[in-house]
Chain A
Amino acid sequence: MSATSHAHHDEAGQAPLVGSLGVDSRKLGLWAFIGSETLFFTALITTHLIFYARTKAQLMADGMLAHMDPKHFLGINLTSVLAAILLASSLTMVLALAASKSKEWAKFRFWLLATIILGSSFVLGQAYEFTHLYAEGLKLAPQYVFEGETVKSLFGVTFFTMTGFHGLHVTIGVIWLLAVYFKVQRFAASPENPMDVELVGLYWHFVDLVWVAIFTLIYLI
């Protein structure tokens, strides 16, 4: 039962007696959940940055930093495309929401499908990137192999944990998008549709923002 409270007016018809923030309950709950997830990803990203700093210090002490910096694994050729894809998918999401609000269902289906395709492309691209990194010598293991040399470092462990969980969140998002797509298609007249779309959109934007943070902090800087 999603609760939208009804504002009572007092007898003199004055301003409504408040008992509610006036925000849709599910939206409020999702915002709080996003707040929680922000800390989840902060902890994962921070862990990665801490261990990367250690690896760098250790390599610098051995005079090997320039050559063996694990950042060499993180080419931005594919990943910047993935970032662009995810950003584009946020745009298509916004357009889908607008269409759902103005009840333009054909347009809505188009933009939501676009979002789903872009999102799925991200997941597939990320999966490919993982296999590529594995082949190159970066694995979920306490060392990596770069051009034949092994370096004892947790870079791979923290990297795959962090990006793996992000990928998991994107995958869940794609499934959610599909669910909303089919639901709206089946029950086009339901008054709940715009809110359903807005909710998945909110989650989707969050997942996109996390990638922006990861891409910036881990790949670019």
Chain B
Amino acid sequence: MAIAEQKLTSVSPATASSGSFPWRTWLATVDHKKIGIIYIVSAFVFFLLGGIEAMLMRVQLGAPNNTFLSADVYNQLFTMHATTMIFLMVMPMNVGIGNYVVPLMIGARDMAFPRLNAMSIWLFLGGGLLLYMSFLTGGAPNGGWFAYAPLTQVQYSPTSGMDYWILGLGLTGVASIAGALNFIVTVLNMRAPGMTLNRMPLFVWMNLVVSFIIIFAFPTFTVGSIELLFDRQFGGAFFNPAQGGDAMLWQHLFWFFGHPEVYILILPVMGMISEILPVFSRKPIFGYSFVAFSGVGIGFLGFIVWAHHMFGVGMGPMANAFFSAASMVIAIPTGVKIFNWIATMWAGDVRLTTAMLYANGFISMFIIGGISGITLASPPIDLQQTDSYYVVAHLHYVLFGGSILGLFAGAYYWFPKMTGRMLNERIGKIQFWVMMVSFNVTFFPMHIVGTEGMPRRIYTYEAGMGWDIWNFIETVGTFFLAFSVLIFVYNVLSSLRTGEIASNDPWDAATLEWAIPSPPPSYNFLHIPIVSSRRPLWDAKYPHAAGDGHHGAANAPASVRYEYTDEETPGAKEIHMPSITFSPMILSGGLTVAALGFVYINKDILGLPTRVAALGFVLIGIAMVAYAIWGWIVDSRKDSPYLGQHH
């Protein structure tokens, strides 16, 4: 029997104004929804910071021989811009949206490890804080986000910037690995009954794949960073050729992580697109298995292409040929996804909401980024294109045109679920077009100047090379791009106050998160649904929709229904959710304090006092960690499922 939605006329109690800000509820939360929102808001703040860094750089590059920024400041900015956008913006934004949506999509009440989840967010913020502190303490990292050796050795990078980089990213790395473990167990162990892996939403699939990539790729980066820290502080020489070390070793360790990292950045977004396109085409995703398995394929292949970042270092033609071939192969599953997305819309009923516009913008821009990737995958061509603005064009087409446009699609799609309000569609569409045009104006010319010989990572360039006009255009584009982001901020702020109230299912969607209120109560589902197909909500709404008959076999009737519940609903109080606790935050704080100590533990900035103070920080940090672990254990006993039993 088809289910019908009630349209709400009043704000759900969860979003009703509650007077003063409930600090404790947010700072000690272990609720995946609150943690998701903290991730999203923090990542957005870092997006703005990274954007400001980019704008400053573009002002400097807007004219040849410009003196707006010094060389050293420029180098710090481009290092921090990339580090921010990759580690402090796209990754946490993906994790934030995943955190919020994945448990809802699989019919769970929370992540598998809610406290570990809280630890991840605070540790991520600790790492971000450490990275940005460096601006105030002698200079931000200035060796590039890729930190090639031996430039990052202490004799060539004497400020503490690179130590902050190592330790800040060490913290965010631990946060990421912990988060990935959480996602893996959540997805594998906490799906609603009847939701086999084959019936999971594609967004959940992609998060699972990405989580495996994270746990297998990050350790190499961790090892490389530890070794670099040892080089800088403890007498190591892993990457110092002058003392027997190997600069190439850094590159291999870094890129073995660094290439899977870019799939970490894009696959969750591809998962979002795979959810959004079917909803706004009113058809299922075309080729579910192919899309799912191409994601898995990309995950595996992503581990054997890393040296395509190193075609110019002299590995020899055989090695180059292998990595080139592997990089070409990885284009195939990517193409499969794109074709399946287009086929999803074919013969559908396509509604061009802002989310759908962004989803299509993503596909369009990603095609361009993918194509420039193919030329880069050919070593001879790469030797003219690498380390030039052509690569800058490529990476921005896949990371901005890909990840960020996709994230905006996700934002417009899930904002109603998270806040109970719709974002304004008219403003959204204006924002979309301003962003699309200014994005292309900013980044397309980079293909051209790169082909015209402009190297990258240069703080200035000579006049008369034919680059002036393009750089100027790119700089102008940047400001319009920034303006489009401001339009989004305006849309968010005004919609939060006076936006149209969102019902459970404003988009007529297919997955479980749209069965419950917007925003959901703390326990998510009053009754865990029983699932018998890939699109449980859709099939409950349209059980008789004509098709090619590939609906999931229903051995048992599904029990999906709209729920109109809140914290006061009868039965809600009996659902035991994990208690709030400060232990994860204290643990993360302790690790951050200890990491700060390690930045200076062997530095002679002010002589012995600095090193003693640094040691003090390390010890205080360890003490905080120990205290937090104690509290954590107490918490786990408080929330034990065996509560009430003789314990």
Give A residues with C-beta under 8 Å from B.
1-5, 7-8, 10-12, 14, 16-21, 23, 25-26, 28-29, 32-33, 35-37, 39-40, 43-44, 47, 50-51, 54, 139-142, 152-154, 157-158, 161, 165, 179, 183, 187, 189-192
Contact = CB atoms under 8 A, between A and B. Distances in A.
15 contacts: A1-B110, A3-B112, A11-B556, A19-B106, A20-B189, A21-B188, A23-B189, A28-B185, A29-B181, A33-B181, A40-B223, A44-B223, A157-B238, A158-B238, A165-B226
Contacts of A20: 188-191
B61 interface: no
A154 B249 contact: no
Given A7-B193, A191-B645, A35 B216 contact: yes
Contacts of A4: 641
A19 B646 CA distance: 30
A36 B177 contact: yes
Interface in B206-257: 215-216, 218-220, 222-224, 226-227, 230, 234-238, 240, 243-246, 249, 253
B114 interface: yes
Contact of B641 (A1, A8, A16, A26): A1
A158 B238 CA distance: 8
B244 A3 contact: no
Nearest to A187: B647
Given A8-B530, A14-B555, 11 more contacts: A1-B641, A12-B556, A17-B531, A18-B191, A19-B106, A19-B193, A19-B531, A29-B181, A36-B177, A39-B219, A190-B642
Given A17-B556, A25-B112, A44-B223, A154 B245 contact: yes
Contact of A17 (B194, B243, B253, B577): B194
How many B residues are at the interface, by size bracket? 35 or more
A10 B357 CA distance: 41
A16 B253 contact: no
B190 A3 contact: yes
B196 interface: yes
How would you classify the secondary structure of chain B's contact residues: helix, strand, loop or mixed?
A: loop
A187 B196 CA distance: 37
A156 B388 CA distance: 39
Contacts of A1: 110, 114, 577-578, 639, 641
B235 A142 contact: yes
Contact of B190 (A5, A10, A26): A5
Interface string B409-423: 000000000000000
A88 to B, nearest CB: 28
A194 B195 CA distance: 30
A142 B237 contact: yes
Nearest to A15: B555
A-B complex: 3 closest residue pairs judged by Cβ atoms:
A10-B556, A19-B191, A8-B193
Nearest to B30: A1
